[in-house]
Amino acid sequence: MVTKLKEDGLDNVHTEAAQVPHWVRGNESAAMVSPRYHSMSILGLGSSIGTPPEGITADVLVVTSFDDLKAKAEMAKGKIIVYNQKYVSYGTTVRYRTAGASEAAKVGGVASLIRSVTPFSIYSPHTGWQDYDDNVKKIPTACITVEDAEMMQRMQERGVKIRVTLKMQAKNHPPVMSRNTVAEIKGSKYPDQVVLVSGHLDSWDVGQGAMDDGGGAFISWQVLSIIKQLGLKPKRTVRMVLWTAEEEGAYGAQQYYKKHKDNVGNFDLVMESDEGTFMPLGFHFKGNSAAMTIMKKVLEPLQKVRSIPLSPGGGGADIDMWIRAGVPGGSIFTDDNRYFKFHHTNGDTMTVQDPVEMNVCAALWTVVAYTVADLEDMLPRG
């Protein structure tokens, strides 16, 4: 990739080291063995420990929420806890994936199986990172399909005893060195001031990572490519950063921020695309009212082609620390229900991507980045 970026004639092409976690999935399986045999489709969750080689075979307790788990705590000891929580939104419901194992362990659960965090399923488990509570015993954890979670709840409601065998070879290894990838078009007048566009290079080991976040990485690369091909020379530097280890907790972005935070006053705008490159429904922006007024002007030329309203929001795991430090931030608003149907699944492949929609996203990303970089003054903040 670095070689290709250099061949494109971009400036300051390099990588920056970042230490990241090293988790390996290994083989995994789950099967309901009573009241009948049923092989279940699962995906282990990131940082999960594995089971003993013979697996864990235990009765199941199905719960619909953390409150339901607490109410049934006396029944939970020695059980595999199955969460069949209702999907509200990704931001709300993902806490069952991230904290489900620790909450199950607190009441004596021996493993946890979490209903995939998605608004729609065709028997598709969704993986993702999970976090253990340091003060609670670690237990194996995986996501199951919506269909299997609902089936087990129906069985439990009829008084049927459910027994499951879970086998996971997951292992956590010592951290390893990875790298963020950086390229620029150097500013003609204020080269030390930066408009940053970004996506993350890492993806889950299932699917192809085409949507999460190949699309975001691609359109950020396209920003530099389009500006270069058009022979434009913005006043400020337009910098692309392709982050590593976003899925594991934004490790690449955190270490980049630590390295560059002393220069935070020179970062004009930070942008991240990590919510799909489907047809844009708008542009989310975090900044003060004066900056919002300017951004509306920035988007005006695009309105002649397609309505792209500006609305409060923006941000992303890899740029939130810059925004908290006062730097204005932006992101593309797309149909998140469509996005979370494929998110972290074997279905995240190139088939999900539409070239026309990606081109519109690239155009939006480029217009915003170039226009802001070419303004005489930086966006107001504070």
Of 169, 191, 207, the residue at which a domain comes to its end is 169
- pLDDT recorded at residue 121: 97
- Does 107 share its domain with 141? yes
- Does 154 share its domain with 290? no
CB atoms within 10 A of CB 154: 11
pLDDT along the chain (382 residues), means of 10: 82 97 98 98 98 98 98 98 97 98 98 98 98 97 98 98 98 98 98 98 96 98 97 98 98 98 98 97 97 97 93 94 98 94 97 96 98 98 86
- pLDDT recorded at residue 288: 97
- pLDDT recorded at residue 3: 85
- pLDDT recorded at residue 4: 76
Conformational region of residue 257, where left means phi above 0, alpha means psi within -120 to 50, and beta covers everything else: alpha
Set 246, 247, 272, 275: catalytic member: 246
Domain assignment of residue 49, yes or no = yes
Q: How far is Cα of residue 188 from the mean position of the Cα atoms in its chain?
A: 34
Q: Which of 373, 359, 339, 163 is nearest to 268 (CA)?
A: 373
Q: How many domains does the chain have?
A: 2
- Does 331 share its domain with 191? yes
- Does 77 share its domain with 211? no
Of 134, 169, 204, the residue at which a domain comes to its end is 169
- Does 8 share its domain with 34? no
User: Are 211 and 338 in contact, with CB atoms under 8 Å apart?
Assistant: no
Structure tokens at 178: 């990875």
Taking the C-alpha atoms of residue 300 and residue 280, their distance in angstroms, rounded to an integer, is 15
- Does 46 share its domain with 146? yes
Taking the C-alpha atoms of residue 75 and residue 108, their distance in angstroms, rounded to an integer, is 9
- 246 as an active site residue: the answer is yes
- Does 52 share its domain with 126? yes
- Does 224 share its domain with 343? yes
- pLDDT recorded at residue 7: 80
User: Are 219 and 362 in contact, with CB atoms under 8 Å apart?
Assistant: yes
The CATH number of whichever domain residue 366 belongs to comes to 3.40.630.10
Q: Which of 190, 216, 194, 191 is nearest to 203 (CA)?
A: 216
* Domain span including residue 152: 26-169
Domain assignment of residue 379, yes or no = no
| pTM (2 d.p.) | 0.95
For β-strands 329-333 and 282-286, DSSP reports them as: antiparallel
Domain assignment of residue 290, yes or no = yes
Helices 215-229 and 355-374: crossing angle in degrees, nearest 10, is 60
Taking the C-alpha atoms of residue 98 and residue 247, their distance in angstroms, rounded to an integer, is 12
Taking the C-alpha atoms of residue 182 and residue 243, their distance in angstroms, rounded to an integer, is 9
- pLDDT recorded at residue 251: 98
Taking the C-alpha atoms of residue 136 and residue 205, their distance in angstroms, rounded to an integer, is 27
Helices 355-374 and 289-303: crossing angle in degrees, nearest 10, is 130
Distances (CA, A) of 240 to 12, 39, 321: 10, 45, 17
Taking the C-alpha atoms of residue 359 and residue 98, their distance in angstroms, rounded to an integer, is 34
Domain assignment of residue 381, yes or no = no
- Does 47 share its domain with 150? yes
- pLDDT recorded at residue 104: 98
Of 126, 147, 169, the residue at which a domain comes to its end is 169
- Does 30 share its domain with 114? yes
